[in-house]
Structure 1
Amino acid sequence: MKGPLSSLKILDFSTLLPGPFASLLLADMGADVLRVESPTRTDLVRVLPPHDGGQSTSHAYLNRNKRSIALDLKRPEAVELVRQLVADYDIVLEQFRPGVMERLGLGYEALKAINPKLIYVSITGYGQTGPYRDRAGHDINYLALAGIASYTGRQDSGPLPLGVQLADIGGGSLHGVMGLLAAVIHRQATGEGQHVDVSMTDCAFALHGMAGAGYLGAGVEPDMENQALNGGSFYDYYRTRDGRWFSVGSLEPQFMQQFCAAIGRPELAARGLSPKPEDQQELKRAIGIEFEKRDFAEWLEVFAALDACVEPMLPLSEAVEHPHILARDLVVEVPREGLPAQRQIACPIKFSAGLPAPRHAGGALGSHTAEVLAELGLTPERIAALKAAKVVG
């Protein structure tokens, strides 16, 4: 079994999270992903704790099913090797600031001259154009600038630093994969490659699916706890007597009626439809009082048999063992060289034809350098000479 993307060959110059998460999805679906890494400037994810068997668990996961070649791109000999690879690896994924790849002689126009069908995907914080194109940033900055943080949080404590990197993954990674695959389809139809410009800030800005439409179309400014889905209604989290939490999303009347009956307050169901903020806050207080009357385990029993959009908030240690997560095969054993297999999050996309089993976790820097160079036709003597000269690692 090869996977639906087995025809794609991708040179991945990205580091940290956005690009590597994108290429992880592609590799899991069968693409041949070759990471091009610096032998002297380590990707910080390689040393990011926690570690298992002396290896970063984040690196082992994000670089699953990929090969690694170590090249010093400041050396002309290394740049020439990339130019040779582009003749075969006709998709490039890179995450440098705008202009860096051009200065290395590896920009889109330079590589397009070698392979006119090249697809070149650039994932950056602010995009290839605009006044912020050269500005540094991280996930929290992109969410702040895009307006998402302005209505994500509590009025009395301010915006929340999200546990998941929404702009990095939801913006850069997932939109990067979409843009790349769209360009592949375009190339199949026309024979033309192209440069795909993915800005994490742009993509975060585009995630304003409801509040953004409300503001641009009707002038309604979203704020913390003033929207139906951000704490401005009973759609929220509630603490149990023993300090745990439940999520309540019983928006539709049939769900709200079940929920209110289950907590012993059927008369509250009608209040869920009220558009008045004060009514919603009063309803939240009433629901909160009821949840505080029982422990987490007791509420689990109450809601287990109900289809009312009420679920417990689970820590990750419980989420990975949840019967539904396990039934969906979302935890997988991944082989590692010289170490026991490691449990990792599986590819979440299901295909009726199936996917290949994970081949290996992320490996050592440059662990496939000799193998890849041999595929280019270099002799063992030439490879040894390049290693001695520190062109490759």
Structure 2
Amino acid sequence: MGALDGVKILDFSTLLPGPYATMLLADLGADVLRVSSPGKVDLVAAWPPFLEEGGVSAPWAWLSRNKRSIFLNLKKDAAVQAVKTLVREYDIVVEQFRPGVMDKLGLGYEALKAVNPRLIYCSLTGYGQTGSMANRAGHDINYLSRSGIVSAAGREAEGPSLYNFQIADVASGAMNTVVSILAALHHRDVTGKGQYADISMTDGVIPFNSMDGACFLAGARPPRREGQQLNGGGIYDFYKTKDGQYMSVGSLEPKFFAQLCVAMEHPEWSDGHILKTDLALVKRIFQEKFLTKTRDEWVELFSGLDACVEPVLTLEEAAADEHNVLRGMWPDVPLPLAPGKTVRQMGCPIKLSDCPPEYRHAGYPAGFHTHEVLKAYGFTEEEIKGISQ
């Protein structure tokens, strides 16, 4: 039995943040029905490579894991009525349109609440439902940029740096969607009432300013690139090795720094006093020292030390890393259209002792369950054809 068995979710989201949130909930047992538009291709569905045996792209197979999928043309009144029919039995709606779009379709919170007062309705957007930028388009890079974080990220001489992952989408939008839904479910268990959740990806990354943000708001100077303890202004940093690879150093606490100094052959610095008197010297010596050995030689040396120093792994290496494998983070998930075949995917990070996540199947093609689902609600073949095209 999954932790969320019996919870039914209608998912109107696209791209990455909403689908990742509902995938986590589906991994934990929720029954997620993804509603797609027959005339609009989700960028994720066209993102290569394409899994011939699965009938979908690799990202779609991942983000649609454990879900069913139907087509509905929400521009048609009959399709809107079909959603209202479904909502009578569903607990949660997740949508990712710009503010006001669902209202114009007749599927906003108030309209669906009238059908099901216990409904939990979550709207996930870049800037939220209110404020001067509520209707502005954006992507992950924009939300990070407007949060204040990027102004202190990267190298002083080079400016902001890009990551190959979507921080605001996943760590902010998706995770806060999951948190809001679980909190609202508990509140409903206590009071019997559903409610509306307004999740902004920009709101979610503002607290990621963390230590620097708290200090600035208490009167400290604004953070600058390579000027803070955690953004390259101290020993906490990446260090290039002899073979062009990198090691990460997170030796902040005195006991870890002391172990680092032993490895760097400067035990006289172990008390940490030099960090206050000549930090620049320490960092320069460490940079020079790391260049004298290969990454793997440093890994071997630090394997016996408790110093918070680890290698920068490629994705290929991380996928083969013993610890990550033992943690179950790379499961082989059945391809539903190819019996006996699997696709390796990134796993669910939520570990529960009594009801761990399950990987029942990878994603089906968009709209695959349209007839199955709508027939179960009494729609005729003609009606289904009319609202799904």
Give the alignment's TM-score, normalised by structure 2: 0.96
Write the mapping of 1:1-393 to structure 2, written as runs, cut at 5 A.
2-53=1-52, 55-271=56-272, 274-275=275-276, 279-339=278-338, 340-355=341-356, 357-378=358-379, 382=380, 384-389=381-386, 391-392=387-388
Percent identical across equivalent pairs? Answer: 50
Aligned CA distance change for structure 1 residues 81 and 295 (closer, same or farther; 3 Å): same
1:95-139 C-alpha deviation (Å, 9 max, x unpaired): 000000001000000000111111100000000000100000000
The DSSP-based 3-state class of the residue aligned with 2:40 is coil
Aligned CA distance change for structure 1 residues 296 and 272 (closer, same or farther; 3 Å): farther
Report how far residue 164 of structure 1 moved.
1.8
The answer to which of 246-255 and 46-55 deviates more is: 46-55
Report how far residue 219 of structure 1 moved.
2.9
Report how far residue 199 of structure 1 moved.
0.4
1:260-312 C-alpha deviation (Å, 9 max, x unpaired): 11122222334576346xx3232111101111111122112101121110100
Q: Which runs of 5+ in 1 are unaligned?
A: none
The DSSP-based 3-state class of the residue aligned with 2:208 is coil
The answer to which of 136-145 and 153-162 deviates more is: 153-162
Aligned CA distance change for structure 1 residues 263 and 124 (closer, same or farther; 3 Å): same
Report how far residue 42 of structure 1 moved.
1.2
The DSSP-based 3-state class of the residue aligned with 2:331 is strand
Give the alignment's TM-score, normalised by structure 1: 0.95
- Distance in 2 (CA, whole Å) between partners of 1:90 and 1:295 is 54
1:70-118 C-alpha deviation (Å, 9 max, x unpaired): 0000011111100000000121000000000001000000000111111
Kindly provide the amino acid, as one letter, of the partner of residue 280 in structure 1: L
The DSSP-based 3-state class of the residue aligned with 2:345 is strand
Query: Quick check: 1:334–1:341 contact (8 Å CA) kept in 2?
Result: yes
1:218-277 C-alpha deviation (Å, 9 max, x unpaired): 23211111111110101101011010110111111111111111122222334576346x
- Distance in 1 (CA, whole Å) between partners of 2:330 and 2:294 is 29
- Distance in 2 (CA, whole Å) between partners of 1:202 and 1:266 is 45
Q: Root-mean-square deviation (CA), in Å?
A: 1.4
- Distance in 1 (CA, whole Å) between partners of 2:108 and 2:273 is 55
Query: Quick check: 2:28–2:358 contact (8 Å CA) kept in 1?
Result: no
Query: Quick check: 2:251–2:309 contact (8 Å CA) kept in 1?
Result: yes
Aligned CA distance change for structure 1 residues 226 and 315 (closer, same or farther; 3 Å): same
- Distance in 2 (CA, whole Å) between partners of 1:237 and 1:11 is 43
Query: Quick check: 1:251–1:272 contact (8 Å CA) kept in 2?
Result: no
- Distance in 2 (CA, whole Å) between partners of 1:62 and 1:120 is 20
Kindly provide the amino acid, as one letter, of the partner of residue 126 in structure 2: G
- Distance in 2 (CA, whole Å) between partners of 1:125 and 1:356 is 28
The DSSP-based 3-state class of the residue aligned with 2:261 is helix
Aligned CA distance change for structure 1 residues 304 and 387 (closer, same or farther; 3 Å): same
Aligned CA distance change for structure 1 residues 249 and 367 (closer, same or farther; 3 Å): same
- Distance in 2 (CA, whole Å) between partners of 1:224 and 1:336 is 46
Aligned CA distance change for structure 1 residues 217 and 273 (closer, same or farther; 3 Å): farther
Aligned CA distance change for structure 1 residues 100 and 346 (closer, same or farther; 3 Å): same
1:48-80 C-alpha deviation (Å, 9 max, x unpaired): 123333631111101100000100000111111
- Distance in 2 (CA, whole Å) between partners of 1:303 and 1:334 is 35
- Distance in 2 (CA, whole Å) between partners of 1:268 and 1:55 is 56
- Distance in 2 (CA, whole Å) between partners of 1:124 and 1:296 is 41
The DSSP-based 3-state class of the residue aligned with 1:345 is coil
Q: Which runs of 5+ in 2 are unaligned?
A: none
Query: Quick check: 1:232–1:281 contact (8 Å CA) kept in 2?
Result: no
The DSSP-based 3-state class of the residue aligned with 2:123 is strand
- Distance in 2 (CA, whole Å) between partners of 1:341 and 1:59 is 14
The DSSP-based 3-state class of the residue aligned with 1:307 is coil
Aligned CA distance change for structure 1 residues 196 and 272 (closer, same or farther; 3 Å): farther
